[in-house]
Amino acid sequence: MAWLLGHVRTSFHHSATPISLPTKTGHSISLLKLCEEATPPCQLNPLLFNGHLQTFWTAVKAQDVPITYKRRIFEAEDPVFAGTFAVDFVVPNSTRTEKDASLPERTTYYSEQEFNALGSDDSKPMLVTLHGLSGGSHELYLRHVIAPLANEEGGWEVCVINSRGCAMSKITTGVLYNARATWDMRQMVKWLRKKFPNRPLFGLGFSLGANILTNYLGEEGKRCELSGSVVCSNPWNLEAGSLALQRTWLGLEVYSKTMGGNMKKLFETHVDQIAKNPRIDVERVRKVKYLHEFDRYLQGPTWGYPTEGAYYRDASSSDSLLAVRTPLLAINAEDDPIAVNEAIPYEEFKQNPYAVLCTTSVGGHLSWFEWGGGRWFVKPAVNFLNKMAKEIDIEAISDQRMADANGGVGPKSEGSYFEPMRRKLHIPR
């Protein structure tokens, strides 16, 4: 009867002792309590009563959420990850822009004068956003969250890092992005910290971008410059997710085939540059049908992984979660057909006091459509970020995590040698 009205069960998964967050009023609140307060009841469109229907509905673009961007192309500073990447900064919608056919809608380049003028001592909260597989700053799911934060009332500054080759950006070397591609995020955070020294920085990631963001948080650990983050529809365990997609007809012939097709389109857009990599068999890539095949014949050879499984295991963020030292809210739907429930690291959430997972019984992948077209996940994501930025004493949290000398989750047990961020892919330095 509850579902006839669209009511969906929400559950929280967390450590037995979540961190205590000091507030600006001199009190404290547990991370769990803050996440619970940020999360309203979930009431979805009762006609979209399972994850497949919710996910399919993302193809129906009935709404427009106007966001205006100015783009800047950055040159990678690390020679190991040489190349360029595009970052889109949100500007007021009233900003006059002339349509540029080489860029997504409502996006233009910064002039040199405009870009050189960037920088401020203000203390506005700033959000760094990562999109999903083959997406970009134009994605509707992303704009739904950005809009209430970046408007005049919200008071946030926002930028979106476009994965290399995405959102009509160019690939300038053989270095592509993958599920472990944290290098552009790292460079951008350093740049923002230098340009805006007083702004608290926050992270927001969707799907593959959520996996990348979680990996970044784990790699940075207690040194992380971000004060809080939200990840939505993180696939977490990429191998488990890939095998789940291959088990069913819908998973293989609809989801995997669609995602593989999107990546092939991206490949063809940049094939002249990618073909310069001697390890890539261009004709073999052109024959693939499914996402795991694309990863087998492109991502594997590009990075030196012998199989797509080796790549998935190395790039998954489920272990990275254990090393996160930034307050983190994760949102997943238990019926997500892409970021599947069996891949969610429930036990790892119980081990990390810095992270809370909110799951819903229905919601699909980056969907959670309400009656009328809104997306429920926007509410907990925006509420959490606003609470962290406006109610929590960020500097006190930074002091608190730096005092954690272990660098792990709680006290290490005798004889424990597990290192969650030890990767198999060795990058020479």
The two three-digit tokens of residue 196, written as one number? 């805006």
pLDDT average, residue stretch 54-66? 87
Lowest-pLDDT range, 137-146, 175-184, 203-212, 310-319? 175-184
Task: Say whether 207 is catalytic.
Answer: yes
Average pLDDT, the chain: 93
Q: What is the pTM of this model?
A: 0.95
More confident position, 276 or 245: 245
Q: If pLDDT is split at 50, 70 and 90, which confidence band does 152 have? A: confident
Of the candidates 207, 227, 229, 317, the residue annotated as catalytic is: 207
Report pLDDT for 409: 46
Residue 169: pLDDT over 80: yes
Of 262, 308, 60, 275, nearest to 166 (Cα)?
A: 262
Residue 401: pLDDT over 70: no
For 370, the domain range is: 3-237+316-402
Report pLDDT for 176: 76
In a domain, residue 419? The reply is no
In a domain, residue 249? The reply is no
Q: If pLDDT is split at 50, 70 and 90, which confidence band does 183 have? A: very high
Task: Say whether 131 is catalytic.
Answer: no
- What phi and psi values does residue 230 have, to the nearest 5 degrees? -130, 135
Residue 404: pLDDT over 90: no
Q: In the chain, how many domains are there?
A: 1
Give CA–CA dist 307/240, Å, rounded. Answer: 15
CATH number for the domain spanning 183: value is 3.40.50.1820
Lowest-pLDDT range, 204-218, 366-380, 392-406? 392-406
Residue 143: pLDDT over 80: yes
Task: Say whether 14 is catalytic.
Answer: no
In a domain, residue 206? The reply is yes
Report pLDDT for 397: 79
Report pLDDT for 6: 87
- Percent above pLDDT 90 for the chain: 84
What Å distances lie between residue 271 and 43, 83, 282, 286, 319, CA to CA? 44, 15, 8, 10, 33
In a domain, residue 256? The reply is no
Report pLDDT for 414: 52
In a domain, residue 216? The reply is yes
Residue 233: pLDDT over 80: yes
Residue 175: pLDDT over 80: no
pLDDT average, residue stretch 81-104? 91
In a domain, residue 167? The reply is yes
In a domain, residue 373? The reply is yes
Residue 164: pLDDT over 80: yes
- Percent above pLDDT 70 for the chain: 93
Residue 382: pLDDT over 50: yes
Of the candidates 88, 184, 319, 336, the residue annotated as catalytic is: 336
In a domain, residue 259? The reply is no
